[in-house]
């Protein structure tokens, strides 16, 4: 990226109102300008200006449905970048015995699982030799393919154009969790099987009793 482009992107992302809008979109849903104006605590005119800049910069896309326009990330990579940028913020010291707040314990990061649980899942998949991490790049093992297929993940994901596996830096844990098509498929499967449930008006996920049993039975993970 040329210096001028980098400076322009830094200027766009440096505005607090725009960052609040981008942060809100990390829950994977599309929002109207009115909804984003509430999130950013900005006027409609100001919100329109901010959204225009974000769309022009290629960070957001807009889709019309009826009388409404809905804004969302232009690509998954932008969502991952926003999550990773948040890891630059100073991490407050907390007692080890204190359980993290729900959004830090288990949450969605755009379309996959994040937080302490997401990081534990990532580490466990590596420990079981289902995925391999080398030079910040992931690959799936033959053992992993068998496991995921038995778990209910379609092998056809391997042929998708979207990256099948990728590490995503977790903002609260400062370590990787699993993103890409596989991360998305795992979250969908866990929602369908009632391992986790979405909390209303939040990115936080609640792990159910079924989920705790499932994590232990399938992965020997104590949640």
CATH number, domain at 15?
Answer: 1.10.10.10
pLDDT above 80: residue 166: yes
Q: How confident is the model at residue 160 (pLDDT cuts 50, 70, 90)?
A: low
Question: Distance (Å, rounded) from C-alpha 129 to C-alpha 64?
Answer: 44
> What residues contact residue 17 under an 8 Å CB cut-off, 6+ apart?
40, 41, 42, 46, 47, 50
| Tokens describing residue 205 | 């996920």
The band of 95, judged by pLDDT with boundaries at 50, 70 and 90, is: low
- The pLDDT-based confidence of 200 (bands split at 50, 70, 90) is confident
Q: Is residue 199 part of a domain?
A: yes
Burial level of 196, CB count in 10 A (0-12/13-18/19+)?
Answer: buried
Tokens of 210: 């079924």
Whether residue 79 is contained in a domain is answered as no
Q: List CB contacts of 29: < 8 A, sequence separation 6 or more.
A: 72
Mean pLDDT value of segment 181-196: 95
- Looking at residue 96, its pLDDT comes to 52
In the prediction, which pLDDT does 6 show? 79
Q: What is the mean pLDDT of the chain?
A: 88
List of residues 6+ apart from 185 with CB closer than 8 A: 148, 153, 154, 157
What's the whole-number mean pLDDT along residues 65-93? Answer: 82
CA 164 – CA 156 distance, rounded (Å): 10
Residues 96 and 66 in one domain: no
191 shares its domain with 89: yes
> Domain span at residue 32?
3-74
Residue 122's pLDDT is 97
What is the average pLDDT across 152-177?
Answer: 80
Is there a single domain that holds both residue 185 and residue 207?
yes
pLDDT at 85 over 80: yes
- Does 118 map to a domain? yes
Separation CA 190–CA 186 (nearest Å):
6
Residues 182 and 95 in one domain: yes
Q: Report the domain count for the chain.
A: 2
The label of the residue with tokens 């030079």 reads 135
Do 134 and 156 have their domain in common? Answer: yes
185 and 108 fall within a common domain: yes
Q: Say yes or no: 88 and 189 in one domain.
A: yes
Angle made by CA atoms 176, 178, 183, in degrees to the nearest 5: 165
Most confident of 23-27, 52-56, 166-170: 52-56
Give the alpha-carbon dihedral of 76, 81, 86, 87, to 10 degrees: 120
């Amino acid at each position: 990226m040329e210096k001028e482009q980098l400076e322009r992107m830094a200027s766009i992302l440096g505005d607090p109102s725009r960052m609040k809008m981008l942060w809100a979109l990390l829950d994977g849903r599309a929002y109207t300008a009115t909804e984003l104006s509430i999130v950013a605590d900005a006027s409609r005119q100001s919100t329109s200006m901010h959204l225009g800049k974000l769309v022009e910069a290629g960070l957001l896309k807009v889709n019309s449905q009826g009388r409404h326009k809905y804004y969302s990330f232009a690509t998954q990579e932008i969502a991952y970048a926003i999550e990773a940028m948040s890891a630059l913020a100073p991490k407050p010291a907390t007692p080890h015995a204190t359980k993290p707040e729900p959004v830090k314990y288990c949450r969605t990061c755009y379309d996959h699982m994040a937080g302490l649980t997401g990081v534990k899942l990532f580490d466990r998949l590596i420990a079981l030799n289902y995925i391999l991490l080398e030079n910040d790049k992931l690959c799936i093992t033959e053992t992993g393919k068998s496991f995921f297929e038995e778990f209910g993940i379609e092998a056809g994901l391997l042929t998708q154009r979207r990256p099948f596996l990728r590490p995503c830096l977790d903002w609260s844990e400062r370590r990787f969790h699993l993103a890409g098509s596989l991360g998305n498929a795992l979250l969908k499967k866990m929602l369908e099987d009632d391992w986790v449930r979405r909390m209303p008006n939040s990115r936080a996920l609640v792990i159910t009793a079924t989920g705790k049993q499932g994590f232990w039975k399938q992965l020997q993970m104590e949640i």
